Each structure stands twice: as structure tokens, then as C-alpha cells.
């Protein structure tokens, strides 16, 4: 070290000085870049946090449902075996509530109507179904839990302010007194709202559930998957591996990329005029919804599949070809299996997009009011996003929290699908 001539040492020093000067500049640039990146990510997280927080604060109330537990005497005078399934179930229930409220005069029809109003409109059907199933219950006293109607549900969840002047409130002082009395008796309690997932839609928020929408989305996505997955992958494999590279295939490629960018509402209009108008397929059917979504998902799958096929190293193809594998053996024995993680990820991301798609489903009528879940893909139904759209549009207070809850359910499904995509990708990931 010591015997290095001083001349070259000087040269080295000046070079190092220059490097030092530029080093400081480069570090500064890197720091700025890092700050930008961290800021951007923090902002994104903040937005996500605000979104989720607001959804959860409004939506969590919809995950419980206020119910009233009643000792119901099934009065043979009101309900007779011969007239089932008809019968005066409302009166029987009102009487059961009134039994808990000593101040109520059971002969006063107006008052009894107010008492009956504590219960959800669906309570009578719940009781009816129970009695139809076991007619021998007539004449007996049974214990049954039924939902309370929306204003009482709101009151129980502290969403109804008792300080509001009486004439502006949805419940007057007497009604609140009834409610307080029932709470005192321990008849009213909140329980987990399983109806949110097991009921279909309803005019009454306390009865409205997502079963119809979930089943509708399920059938639509199933149709979409069954059509777009094989067609998309087949098209991609053909275009990438077998099609001659010429003007026509270039033209097709450009058009597929364009198709992926077409606004979804256009696909909805297309579906409306072709599937429903021309082919006469039923309106509001998840099958038609699935066809429409397949149109939109297919370009995504084709693009993802082609990218995944391109990413398979050529050395693997050469190895197989060199051993005398045919083109088809190379593609299906080596290239496609190696591209599978990418293909599956692309497909699931495409399906997740389809799950959240609203506009095309609105156009084909999947925003109809339907109170039963679809049993087949050809029954009228809604889908999760259109259900959210319907509920967000409904005036009843109870639908506000249900809308948020429905959004949370939709987000849960989306997160689950993305988690599956990540899992599949890591499971099938192979090194070469």
C-alpha cells in the first residue's frame, strides 16, 4: 500500500472525490423516491382504512337483529286446521305481546294494532310456517322468537334518538313505553343476524337478507367461469402457440386488448339486445348475467394466459421438442402446466372483477325485487352488487346499515377470491 506512487494516489483521490460528490446526489435522489413511495402507500392505506372503518361503523349494526321472544297461545278460534295455511296469525301474535303489557286493553282494536306493529311483518309468516308444519300445535302455547319491526330495531340499536320531539319521531311516547316495558321483562334481545345470509330480499329491512343475491352471484359467476375459462384459455393457447403470426393474428390481438378496455355498460347493452332481445333468454336470470360477465372476463383471461405462456422459458420448449415431443405434447405437457399459476391468478382476478360488476347486470334486469333465492341459473335473481344498489336506493332507515353490511359481505367474498389466487400461485409456483 505504501509503495504506490503519489501521482497515481492523487488520481485515485480525485476520482474518489468525484464519486463522493455524485454519491451524495444519488443518495438524495433515492431518499426522495423513498419518501414519495412511503407517502403514496400511507395514503392508500389511509383511504382503505377510512373506507373499511365507515363501512364497519354503519354496517356492524346489521349483523345483529333485535328479536322478541313470546309465549304464543295458538288460539283455535283464530286459527283452525281446516283453514290452514290461512288464519289470523297477526291477532294471535298481538295478543301474545299484549300479554306482556298489562296496560294494554286487548279489546281496543287501534291499540292492538299498535302492539302488533312492534313485530316485524314477517313474524306472522314465521308462525304460520311453524303451525302448518305441526298442526297439532293449535290450542297449545309455544315459545317463539320473531324479529321486531324496523323502528324498534333502530331504537334498540340506539339509532333512534329519544330526545327528538315526539311528532318528528318514528315511535311516539306510548310505543317507546311499550318497548321499555318489554325490555324490562327481558322479552327483547339482540341476537346474531343469521337472516342477513339466510333470507332473501324483502320490503321490510328487518327481514331482508342476501341469500337471493349470493345465490344469484354464485350462479352468474359459475356460468361466467364455465364459459370464459375454457374459451379464454383455449383462445390464448391457440393464439400464443399455434396460430401463424400474420396480419390477421395481430389484428385479433389488438382487438382482444381493446375488448378488455370496453366499458362494462356497453357489454350490458349488447347482452340486452342480443341475449334477451334476439335469443329470447329470460330477463333477470343469473345465466344471462353470467354470459354477459363472461364476455367481459374472457379478454382478461386471454391476456393473463398469454402472458403466462410467454413467461415459460424457451429452454423448456426446446428440451421437450429436442426429445421428439410433438407441438401439442410440448404445449399441454410442459408449457401449460408451468403457466398454470399465472393462468389461475388471472382467471380469479377476472372473476373477482366480474363479481363486483354492476352496470351490465342492471341493464339485463338483475335488479328486480325478488323475495326468493334462485334455485337454478334461469330463475330471476339479483346479484350482490345489484342488491347493494337496490338497498342503497331504499328509503327505509334499516337498509342503511344493511347496505354497508352487504358491501362488507361482498368485500369478504372478493378478499377470499384473491386469497385463493395468492394461495394457488404460491402452491403451483415452480422454479426452473
Segments of 74-128 assigned E as strands: none
| Candidate residues 265, 316, 392, 424; the one interacting with other proteins per rule CB under 8 A | 316
Interaction of residue 322 with other proteins, rule CB under 8 A: yes
Smallest distance from the beta carbon of 431 to other proteins, in angstroms? 6
Residues 205-244 that bind other proteins (CB under 8 A): 244
Identify which range of 140-148, 169-177, 233-241, 321-329 contacts other proteins by CB under 8 A.
Answer: 321-329
Is 326 near other proteins (CB under 8 A)?
A: yes
What are the residues whose beta carbons fall under 8 Å from the beta carbon of 209, sequence distance 6 or more? 195, 196, 197, 198, 199, 200, 201, 202
Residue nearer to other proteins on the CB measure, 118 or 308? 308
Say whether residue 338 binds other proteins (CB under 8 A): yes
Q: Is 344 in the site for other proteins (CB under 8 A)?
A: no
> Of 101 and 320, which CB lies nearer to other proteins in the complex structure?
320
Nearer to other proteins among residue 163 and residue 432 (C-beta): 432
Residue in this structure with the C-alpha cell 308462525, named with its chain if needed: 127
Query: Residue 67 is inside which H or E element, if any?
Result: strand 64-73
Among 325, 362, 392, 417, binds other proteins (CB under 8 A): 325
Question: Rounded CA gap, 35 and 22, in Å?
Answer: 20
User: Candidates 194-202, 223-231, 263-271, 318-326 — which segment interacts with other proteins by CB under 8 A?
Assistant: 318-326
DSSP characters for 227-260?
Answer: HHHHHHHHHHHIIIIIS--SHHHHHHHHHHHHHH
Instruction: Please count the residues of this chain forming the interface with other proteins, following the rule CB under 8 A.
Output: 22
The verdict on 157 binding other proteins (CB under 8 A) reads no
Which residues lie across from 5 on neighbouring strands?
A: none
Distance, CA of 185 to chain centre: 39
The H-or-E segment that residue 11 falls in is helix 6-59
By CB under 8 A, tell whether 424 contacts other proteins.
no
Q: Which residue from 3, 163, 245, 280 is in contact with other proteins, where contact means CB under 8 A?
A: 245
Among 1, 77, 426, 430, binds other proteins (CB under 8 A): 430
* 431 part of the interface to other proteins, by CB under 8 A: yes
If binding is defined by CB under 8 A, does position 432 make contact with other proteins?
Answer: yes
Which residue lies nearer to other proteins by CB, 98 or 340? 340
Grid cell at residue 359: 352496470
In the list 97, 308, 320, 408, the residue contacting other proteins (rule: CB under 8 A) is: 320
Output 165 or 244, the one with its CB closest to other proteins: 244
Exactly one of 319, 415, 416, 422 binds other proteins (CB under 8 A); that residue is 319
Rule CB under 8 A: say whether 329 interacts with other proteins. yes
Radius of gyration of the chain (CA): 32
Q: What are 15's three cell numbers?
A: 476520482
Span from 81-89, 297-305, 315-323, 395-403 in contact with other proteins (CB under 8 A): 315-323
* Residues paired with 145 in a beta bridge: 69
Nearest in space to 395 (alpha carbons), one of 210, 203, 213, 176: 203
Q: What are phi and psi of 386, to 5 degrees?
A: -70, -30
Q: Which is nearer to other proteins, 166 or 318 (CB)?
A: 318
Beginning with the edge strand found earlier in the chain, give each strand of the sheet holding 188-192 in spatial order.
Answer: 141-147, 64-73, 188-192
Q: What one-character-per-residue DSSP string does 321-369 give?
A: HHTT--HHHHIIIIIHHHHHHHHHHHHHHHHHHHHH--HHHHHTTTT--
Residue placing its CB nearer to other proteins in the complex, 69 or 249: 249
Positions in the binding site for other proteins (CB under 8 A): 244-245, 313, 315-326, 329, 333-334, 338, 430-432
Amino acid at each position: 500500500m505504501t509503495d504506490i506512487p503519489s501521482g497515481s494516489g492523487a488520481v485515485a483521490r480525485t476520482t474518489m472525490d468525484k464519486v463522493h460528490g455524485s454519491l451524495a446526489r444519488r443518495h438524495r435522489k433515492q431518499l426522495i423516491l423513498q419518501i414519495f413511495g412511503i407517502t403514496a402507500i400511507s395514503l392508500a392505506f389511509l383511504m382503505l382504512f377510512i373506507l373499511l372503518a365507515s363501512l364497519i361503523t354503519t354496517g356492524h349494526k346489521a349483523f345483529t337483529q333485535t328479536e322478541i321472544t313470546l309465549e304464543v297461545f295458538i288460539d283455535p278460534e283464530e286459527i283452525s286446521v281446516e283453514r290452514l295455511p290461512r288464519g289470523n296469525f297477526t291477532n294471535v301474535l298481538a295478543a301474545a305481546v299484549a300479554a306482556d303489557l298489562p296496560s294494554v286493553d286487548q279489546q281496543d282494536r287501534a291499540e292492538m294494532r299498535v302492539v302488533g306493529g312492534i313485530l316485524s311483518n314477517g313474524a306472522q309468516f314465521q308462525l304460520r310456517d311453524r303451525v302448518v308444519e305441526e298442526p297439532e300445535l293449535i290450542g297449545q302455547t309455544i315459545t317463539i322468537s320473531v324479529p321486531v319491526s324496523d323502528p324498534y330495531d333502530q331504537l334498540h340499536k340506539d339509532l333512534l334518538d329519544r330526545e327528538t320531539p315526539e311528532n318528528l319521531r318514528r315511535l311516539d311516547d306510548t310505543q317507546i313505553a311499550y318497548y321499555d316495558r318489554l325490555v324490562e321483562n327481558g322479552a327483547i334481545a339482540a341476537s346474531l343476524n343469521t337472516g342477513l345470509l339466510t333470507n332473501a330480499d324483502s320490503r321490510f329491512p328487518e327481514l331482508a337478507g342476501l341469500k337471493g343475491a349470493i345465490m344469484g352471484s354464485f350462479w352468474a359467476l359459475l356460468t361466467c367461469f364455465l364459459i370464459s375459462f375454457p374459451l379464454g384459455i383455449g383462445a390464448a393457447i391457440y393464439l400464443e402457440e399455434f396460430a401463424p403470426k400474420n396480419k390477421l393474428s395481430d389484428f385479433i390481438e389488438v382487438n382482444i386488448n381493446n375488448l378488455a378496455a370496453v366499458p362494462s355498460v356497453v357489454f350490458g347493452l349488447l347482452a340486452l339486445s342480443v341475449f334477451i332481445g334476439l335469443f329470447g333468454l329470460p330477463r333477470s336470470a343469473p345465466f344471462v348475467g353470467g354470459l354477459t360477465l363472461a364476455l367481459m372476463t374472457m379478454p382478461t383471461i386471454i391476456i393473463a394466459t398469454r402472458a403466462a405462456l410467454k413467461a415459460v422459458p424457451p429452454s423448456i420448449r426446446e428440451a421437450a421438442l429436442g426429445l421428439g415431443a410433438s407441438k401439442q405434447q410440448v404445449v399441454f405437457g410442459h408449457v401449460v402446466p408451468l403457466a398454470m399459476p399465472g393462468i389461475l391468478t388471472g382467471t380469479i382476478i377476472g372473476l373477482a372483477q366480474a363479481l363486483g360488476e354492476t352496470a351490465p347486470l342492471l341493464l339485463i334486469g338483475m335488479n328486480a325485487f325478488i323475495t326468493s333465492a334462485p334455485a337454478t341459473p334461469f330463475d330471476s335473481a339479483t346479484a350482490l352488487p345489484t342488491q347493494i344498489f337496490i338497498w342503497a336506493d331504499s328509503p327505509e332507515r334499516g337498509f342503511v346499515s344493511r347496505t354497508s353490511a352487504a358491501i362488507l359481505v361482498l368485500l369478504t367474498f372478493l378478499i377470499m377470491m384473491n386469497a385463493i389466487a395468492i394461495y394457488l400461485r404460491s402452491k403451483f409456483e415452480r422454479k426452473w
